[in-house]
């Protein structure tokens, strides 16, 4: 049950689209995406440098991705609880230190002799995943609470749209230098970002709630003790599944799909991921305006999800024979899943101030964590169904859950966020 948050006085909307909280959240997400997608971009060249065979690159690469996603899953819960108990800013500082150190450590993987380098790589990506889990949810929560409700959709879209271009910078950093240097650059960008965060102030809504000692904040288990909360929470997760099906299966394993399609040119997964994120960033920037124009989060997300479904089917079943067309479809699918910012915003808007950071941080990381069963299912089905149909089965499940979730979840467009979860 939602109850009003007792506040001494309303907080005036003093923050605009390009206020410091929005800028810092956008740059934070930029660095977050740079580091999050970096392994997907360097997966093949870095594992080749470790001496792995093509078959090992596929299986070990999938395993390392799963370690990273497992870190995201656990980190989402950790940072979400901290965000509601200790404040949104504590997460923004703590998470970036964690993943910056881990990314620098990944740059030394070729020189590791005290253990198996592939296992070291997996452990460092696990630690990086824990750190990366906190950035987006805390940033979106902070921006959602400091912007007036009329500006939330566009403000959070700006955060994600700008941030997602971190994938493009990651790709070109690898191309201009090498994969090891790219990890060092990611760590350096993270520590540089810490200096910008010094001037950001805490959300007024959180400050008021934190003064109320009787309010239970950051209780992750409370999502599972109330039927309404559980339903909303699971549907928030379900909405995001198609996004990581496109990124984690169709783009990440695009080299395998390219061979299955009979494309003679070598497909570079890093390039496929980059084009996917160009589309994703464009879609995210558009999603806020679409949501505002339709006066509905649900209609905007459903429209973009339908676009992603159409282009996923074209990708899988129209017999593409050109690498250019494949990369172009990654761009188009990326635009379709460009409701990522709106999806995280919906997660923040569904719950009261005392659970908002926990929801907004855990929901996207639950989706990222579910890449583990996605990749395991894909790998399990490949021998019997072959690459294309194995991918299609995973996608079918994700899109069915995604459409059901967005069509049945409560609308949050224009919702007042100054309330508590009882």
**Highest mean pLDDT range out of 18-27, 215-224, 360-369?**
360-369
For the four alpha carbons of 159, 272, 76 and 348, in that order, the dihedral sign comes to positive
Among the listed ranges 8-12, 94-98, 316-320, 353-357, which one has the minimum average pLDDT value?
8-12
338-391 tens-digit pLDDT: 998 788 888 888 888 777 778 888 888 888 888 889 999 999 999 999 999 999
DSSP type of residue 246 = I
User: End-to-end distance of the chain based on CA atoms, in angstroms?
Assistant: 5
- pLDDT tens for 236-287 read 999 999 999 999 999 989 999 999 999 989 899 888 988 998 898 889 888 8
Q: Round to whole Å and give the CA distance between 209 and 84.
A: 9
**What does the alpha-carbon distance between residue 77 and residue 274 come to, in Å, rounded to a whole number?**
28
Sequence spans of domains, the chain: 15-210+220-421
pLDDT at 320 over 60: yes
If one counts every other C-beta atom within 10 angstroms of the C-beta of residue 221, the result is 7
367-405 exposure pattern, b = at least 16 Cβ within 10 A, e = fewer: bbbbbbebbebbeebbeeeebbebbbebbeebbebbbeb
- CATH dotted code for 15-210+220-421: 1.20.1250.20
4 beta partners = 419
Question: pLDDT value at position 35?
Answer: 85
Mean pLDDT of 391-409: 97
**pLDDT on residue 13:** 46
Element (H, E) at 419: strand 419-421
Give the 3-state secondary structure percentages of the chain, helix then strand then coil, rounded to 5.
75, 0, 20
Output the six-digit token pair for 126.
């696990």
Q: How many residues does the chain have?
A: 422
Which string of DSSP letters, residue by residue, matches 31-95? HHHHHHHHHHHHHHHHHHHTT--HHHHHHHHHHHHHHHHHHHHHHHHHHHHHHHHT-HHHHHHHH
How far apart are the C-alpha atoms of 209 and 140, rounded to whole Å?
Answer: 18
CA distances from 418 to 10, 204, 237, 318 (A): 9, 10, 23, 49
Q: No. of H helices and E strands in the chain?
A: 17, 2
The whole-chain average pLDDT of the chain stands at 83
pLDDT given at position 254: 94
pLDDT at residue 16 tops 70: no
What average pLDDT score do residues 54-70 get?
A: 86
Q: Which residue has the tokens 């467009």?
A: 413
Whole-prediction pTM: 0.78
């Amino acid at each position: 049950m939602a109850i009003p948050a007792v506040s001494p006085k309303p907080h005036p909307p003093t923050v605009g689209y390009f206020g410091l909280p929005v800028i810092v959240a956008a740059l934070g997400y930029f660095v977050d995406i740079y580091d999050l997608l970096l392994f997907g971009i360097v997966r093949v060249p870095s594992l080749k440098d470790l001496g792995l065979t093509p078959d090992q690159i596929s299986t070990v690469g999938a395993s390392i991705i799963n370690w990273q996603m497992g870190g995201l899953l656990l980190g989402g819960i950790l940072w979400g609880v901290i965000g509601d108990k200790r404040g949104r800013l504590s997460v923004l500082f703590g998470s970036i230190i964690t993943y910056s150190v881990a990314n620098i450590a990944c740059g030394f993987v070729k020189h590791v002799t005290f253990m198996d380098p592939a296992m070291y790589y997996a452990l460092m990506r696990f630690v990086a995943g824990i750190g990366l889990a906190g950035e987006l949810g805390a940033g979106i929560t902070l921006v959602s609470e400091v912007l007036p409700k009329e500006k939330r959709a566009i403000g959070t879209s700006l955060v994600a749209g700008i941030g997602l271009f971190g994938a493009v910078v990651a790709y070109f950093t690898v191309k201009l230098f090498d994969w090891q240097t790219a990890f060092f650059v990611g760590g350096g960008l993270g520590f540089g970002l810490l200096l910008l965060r010094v001037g950001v102030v805490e959300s007024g809504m959180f400050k008021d709630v934190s003064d109320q000692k009787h309010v239970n904040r950051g209780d992750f288990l409370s999502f599972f003790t109330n039927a309404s909360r559980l339903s909303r929470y699971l549907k928030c997760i379900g909405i995001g599944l198609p996004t990581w099906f496109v990124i984690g299966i169709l783009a990440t394993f695009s080299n395998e799909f390219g061979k299955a399609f009979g494309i003679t040119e070598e497909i570079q997964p890093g390039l496929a991921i980059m084009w996917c994120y160009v589309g994703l960033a464009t879609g995210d920037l558009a999603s806020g305006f679409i949501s505002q124009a339709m006066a509905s989060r649900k209609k905007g997300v459903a429209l973009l999800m339908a676009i992603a479904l159409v282009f996923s089917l074209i990708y899988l079943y129209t017999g593409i024979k050109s690498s250019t067309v494949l990369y172009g479809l990654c761009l188009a699918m990326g635009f379709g899943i460009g409701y990522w910012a709106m999806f995280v915003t919906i997660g923040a808007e569904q719950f009261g101030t005392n659970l908002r950071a926990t929801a907004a941080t855990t929901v996207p990381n639950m989706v990222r964590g579910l890449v583990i069963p996605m990749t395991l299912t894909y790998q399990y089905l490949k021998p019997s169904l072959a690459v294309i149909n194995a991918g299609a089965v995973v996608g079918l499940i994700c899109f069915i859950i995604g459409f059901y979730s967005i069509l049945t979840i409560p609308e949050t467009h224009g919702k007042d966020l100054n309330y508590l979860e009882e």
